[in-house]
Amino acid sequence: MNTTHQGQSKKTALITGAADGIGYELACIFATHDYNLVLVDRNGPKLVEIAVQFQKKFGIFVKAIVKDLSISTAPEEIFTELQLADINVDVLVNNAGFGIYGLFHETDLAAELEMLQVNLVCLTHLTKLFLKHMVKQGEGKILNVSSAAAFQPGPLMAVYFATKAYILSFSEAIANELEGTGVTVTVLCPGSTASAFHERNRDG
Relative to beta strand 100-101, strand 202-203 is parallel
Question: Nearest 5 degrees, angle CA 158-CA 185-CA 187?
Answer: 35
The Cα–Cα gap between 41 and 32 comes to 20
DSSP for 21-32 reads: HHHHHHHHHHHH
> What sign has the CA pseudo-torsion 31, 37, 43, 49?
positive
Q: Which residue among 24, 35, 160, 166 is the active-site one?
A: 160
Largest CA-CA distance found in the chain, in angstroms, rounded? 52
Q: Distance (Å, rounded) from C-alpha 114 to C-alpha 116? A: 5
Asked if 1 and 41 touch (Cβ cutoff 8 Å), the reply is no
Please name every residue paired with 58 in a beta bridge, in sequence order, or none if there are none: none
**Residue 160 annotated among the catalytic residues of the structure:** yes
Which residues participate in catalysis according to the annotation? 160
